[in-house]
Structure 1
């Protein structure tokens, strides 16, 4: 494992120390967990954006997609616990 130095403002260092102690862990472990959580979050966000961009490109290429009104109705029905068929792909441009 490599070593990296973090220069923390005193207020942040004190907050980390206090929370680590309350969590029953070391400040080092607390910071590692925080960094790992942020990295995972950013990786997931980037994957989400990449997938969205790929789907949008595919929509532009094929001229097919989901109608927002159909999607919204489906989501509302699902949220209400109702059985709702998935929206169907439609041509939206020729």
Structure 2
């Protein structure tokens, strides 16, 4: 494992130390966990954006997409615990 120096403002250092102690861990471990969580969140966010951009490109290329009213109804039913059929893509432009 490599070493990286992290310069923290005193108030942040104190907050990290306090929270790490309350969590029963070291400040080092606390910061590693925080960094790992942030990295995972950013990776998830980037994957979400990549998928959205790929779907938009496909929609623009094929001229097919989902009607928002159909998708909204589908999502509402899923949120209610039902298992509705997924809406079907259809042409939205000539």
TM-score strictly above 0.5:
yes
Please state if 1:3 is matched with 2:3.
Answer: yes
Q: Distance in 1 between matches of 2:52 and 2:82?
A: 27
Please state if 1:44 is matched with 2:70.
Answer: no
Map of 1:78-89 to 2, 5 A cutoff? Answer: 78-89=78-89
Please state if 1:53 is matched with 2:53.
Answer: yes
Q: Distance in 2 between matches of 1:46 and 1:80?
A: 29
Cα RMSD for the two superposed structures: 0.9
Number of residue-to-residue matches in the alignment: 94
What is the CA-CA distance between 1:82 and the residue it aligns to?
2.9
Unaligned runs of 5+ in 1: none
What is the CA-CA distance between 1:81 and the residue it aligns to?
2.3
What is the CA-CA distance between 1:51 and the residue it aligns to?
0.8
Unaligned runs of 5+ in 2: none
Using the size of structure 2 for normalisation, the TM-score is: 0.94
What is the CA-CA distance between 1:66 and the residue it aligns to?
0.7
